[in-house]
């Protein structure tokens, strides 16, 4: 039997414009797009709501938050994965690159222990059982300042749906935590360090960077190539750091921390991704450049929910207001991230694309989701 559905009387968010129309879906794909306000018999009347592509999330720590809802609390993993999956679906996200850290600190396994391979096995087992609502890929966050990065990367293969690998360098005093006081507040709050513990932590990371940094960067670049994954930089701060990223073949920059770095990314044709919470809050919690400033300077391409899944759609609507173009705002969370990781089958309302769709309206600049579909099947 043919699985068919028509979404009618909607404001369609197309790649370059919005217009009143309808979308016909068959067997999980978009097969027709028409203009007009009519709602044929049997169609879903969207009542003038927006109909947009499902959101594509490239960097979220949300799965880790469900696995460890409190420090030292290890929640049952199957339940945590399904709760994470359902939460994202409920926020309009239909494709996610689950961010998992690779690279551990053996001497302090209680805080930075190995977990990515085992968690991936559980994630793919649930996917095989067809209990997940949305499409999942892996984003491996390769920690340069660690002891076991090489071994952990070698546990993954090209069959693990690793679509994104990012170079993470959390050496104190540079990149995200150029201001040591910001790092101190973050680490003490998360891990309960006293002054001596924090100083020991800083010294340990600096020593690991000196010992492993260059080797780990080269190994990560090679691993991304082996997986067939896109390689991303993280927290570039200076023109020099962006130049190094470009030399590695990087074309996606996660959260550059300065206007200088964002401008250098543009010069090297590297897409700039910023966090939705930064945009919604009006600034960075780490004291770095504001996403809104980059948007107003035409230096922002992609948005990630980072640590608040519900912020993704909200940020796209804010960008639509900033730029005076709803289609452009939504593109930062749909077609542009999909293109950045070479997913040509989704991210836009167009013939032959996956029927990953969201229906929403805007009330007082806040999105009100009224339906989410993955491959034409309702998931929220």
Segment 135-190, tens digit of pLDDT:
999 999 999 888 899 999 999 999 999 999 999 986 665 655 666 666 656 665 56
Residue 213, pLDDT score:
76
- Classify residue 176: in a domain, yes or no: yes
pLDDT, mean of residues 281-308: 94
Residue 148, pLDDT score:
92
pLDDT, mean of residues 9-34: 97
Residue 212, pLDDT score:
80
Q: Which residue has the tokens 């806040």?
A: 366
Q: CA-CA distances (angstroms) from residue 221 to 101, 174, 195, 252?
A: 16, 21, 36, 13
Q: Which domain, by its residues, includes 129? A: 54-344
- Classify residue 116: in a domain, yes or no: yes
Residue count (the chain) = 380
120 in Cβ contact with 100 (< 8 Å): yes
CA-nearest of 127, 141, 140, 150 to 170 is 141
The two tokens of residue 119 are: 């968690």
- Classify residue 138: in a domain, yes or no: yes
- Condensed to tens digits (0 to 9), the pLDDT of residues 108-125 reads 544 578 999 999 999 999
CA-nearest of 302, 299, 317, 222 to 258 is 299
* Cα atoms found within 13 Å of the Cα of residue 74, Cβ hemisphere only: 5
Residue 188, pLDDT score:
54
pLDDT, mean of residues 51-72: 94
Q: Is 374 helix (H, G, I), strand (E, B) or coil?
A: strand
Residue spans of beta strands (DSSP E) within 29-182: 29-35, 44-45, 50-53, 55-60, 93-102, 135-143, 162-168
Residue 182, pLDDT score:
61
* Residue 136: CB atoms within 10 Å: 21
Residue 40, pLDDT score:
87
Q: Which of 176-180, 210-214, 234-238, 316-320 has the lowest mean pLDDT?
A: 176-180
CATH of residue 217? 3.20.20.140
- Classify residue 380: in a domain, yes or no: no
Chain-wide mean pLDDT for the chain? 92
| Confidence tier at 214 by pLDDT (50, 70, 90) | confident
Residue 123, pLDDT score:
98
What residues form DSSP beta bridges with 60? 98, 306
User: What does pTM read for this prediction?
Assistant: 0.91
- Classify residue 286: in a domain, yes or no: yes
Residue 184, pLDDT score:
59
- Classify residue 35: in a domain, yes or no: no
Distance between CA atoms of residues 99 and 284, nearest Å: 20
Whether the per-residue pLDDT at 260 is higher than 60: the answer is: yes
Residue 365, pLDDT score:
85
Percent of the chain with pLDDT over 90: 79
Q: CA-CA distances (angstroms) from residue 232 to 25, 139, 141, 176, 317?
A: 34, 10, 9, 15, 25
Residue 251, pLDDT score:
96
Whether the per-residue pLDDT at 45 is higher than 70: the answer is: yes
Q: CA-CA distances (angstroms) from residue 370 to 40, 121, 358, 359, 378?
A: 20, 33, 8, 5, 11
- Classify residue 8: in a domain, yes or no: no
pLDDT, mean of residues 260-269: 98
Distance between CA atoms of residues 182 and 172, nearest Å: 10
137 in Cβ contact with 98 (< 8 Å): yes
Whether the per-residue pLDDT at 335 is higher than 50: the answer is: yes
Domain count for the chain, please give it: 1
- Classify residue 80: in a domain, yes or no: yes
């Amino acid at each position: 039997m043919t699985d068919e559905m028509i979404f009618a009387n909607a404001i369609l968010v197309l790649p370059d414009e919005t217009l009143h129309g309808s979308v016909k879906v068959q067997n999980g794909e978009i097969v027709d797009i028409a203009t007009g306000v009519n709602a044929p018999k049997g169609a879903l009347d969207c009542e003038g709501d927006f109909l947009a592509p499902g959101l594509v999330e490239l960097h979220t720590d949300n799965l880790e938050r469900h696995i460890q809802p409190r420090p030292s609390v290890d929640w049952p993993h199957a339940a945590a994965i399904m709760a994470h999956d359902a939460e994202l679906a409920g926020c309009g996200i239909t494709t996610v690159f689950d961010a998992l850290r690779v690279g551990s600190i053996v001497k302090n396994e209680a805080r930075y222990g190995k977990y990515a391979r085992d968690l991936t096995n559980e994630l793919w087992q649930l996917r095989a059982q067809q209990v997940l609502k949305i499409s999942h890929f892996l984003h491996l966050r390769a920690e340069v300042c660690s002891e076991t990065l090489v071994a952990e990367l070698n546990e993954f293969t090209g069959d693990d749906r690793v679509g994104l690998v990012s170079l993470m360098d959390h050496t104190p005093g540079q990149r995200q935590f150029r201001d040591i006081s910001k790092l101190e507040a973050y680490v003490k709050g998360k891990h309960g360090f006293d002054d001596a513990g924090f100083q020991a932590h800083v010294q340990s990371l600096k020593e690991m960077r000196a010992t492993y940094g260059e080797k780990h960067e080269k190994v990560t670049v090679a691993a991304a190539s082996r997986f067939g994954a896109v390689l991303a930089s993280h927290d570039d701060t200076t023109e020099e750091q962006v130049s190094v990223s470009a030399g590695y073949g990087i074309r996606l920059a996660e959260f550059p921390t300065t206007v200088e770095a964002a401008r250098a990314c543009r010069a090297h044709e590297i897409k700039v991704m910023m966090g939705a919470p930064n945009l919604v809050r009006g600034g960075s919690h780490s004291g770095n450049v504001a996403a809104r400033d980059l948007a107003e300077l035409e230096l922002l391409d992609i948005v990630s929910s980072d640590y608040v899944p519900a912020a993704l759609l909200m940020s796209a609507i804010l960008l639509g207001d900033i730029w005076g173009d709803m289609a452009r705002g939504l593109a930062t969370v749909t077609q542009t991230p999909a293109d950045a990781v070479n997913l040509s089958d989704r991210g836009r309302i167009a013939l032959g694309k996956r029927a990953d769709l969201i229906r929403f309206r805007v009330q007082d600049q806040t999105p009100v989701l009224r339906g989410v579909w993955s491959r034409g099947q309702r998931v929220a």
